[in-house]
Amino acid sequence: MQHPAAKVLVELADLQDREVGDGTTSVVILASELLKHGNELVKNKVHPTSVIQGFRLAMRQACKYISEEMAITTESLGKEALMNAARTSMSSKIIGSQAEFFSEMVVDAMNEVKIVNKKGTAKYPLKSVGIVKGNGMSSSDSYLVAGLAVKIGRATPMMVRQVTGGCRVACLDFDLKKFKGQMGVDIVVKNPAELEAIRQQEEIITKRRIQMIIDAGANVVLTTKGMDDLAMKYFVEAGIIGVRRVPKIDIQRIAKATGATLCVSLGTLEGEEAFEPGWLGAADTVGEEMLGDYEMMLFKGCKTSKAVTIVLRGPNEYMLDEMERSVHDALCVVKRTLESGMVVPGGGCVETALSIYLENFATTLGTREQLAIAEFAEALLVIPRVLSTNAACDATELVARLRAYHYRYQSDPANSDAALSRTGLDLSNGKLRDNVEHGVLEPMLIKLKSISFATEAAISVLRIDDMIKITPPQQQGQGGGMPPGMMGM
Tens digit of each residue's pLDDT (9 = 90 or more) over 441-460: 888 888 899 999 999 999 98
Asked if 174 contacts 265 with a C-beta cutoff of 8 angstroms, the reply is yes
pLDDT at 477: 58
- For the segment 228-246, the average pLDDT, to the nearest whole number, is 87
Asked if 167 contacts 284 with a C-beta cutoff of 8 angstroms, the reply is yes
- For the segment 457-485, the average pLDDT, to the nearest whole number, is 72
> At 373, is the pLDDT very low, low, confident or very high (cuts 50, 70, 90)?
very high
Per residue in 252-302, pLDDT tens? 888 888 888 888 888 777 778 888 888 888 888 888 888 777 788 888 888
Set out the domains of the chain in order of their start, with CATH numbers: 4-75+344-462 (1.10.560.10), 148-306 (3.50.7.10)
Sheet of 294-300, strand order: 148-150, 294-300, 285-291, 162-163
Asked if 280 contacts 216 with a C-beta cutoff of 8 angstroms, the reply is yes
pLDDT at 60: 93
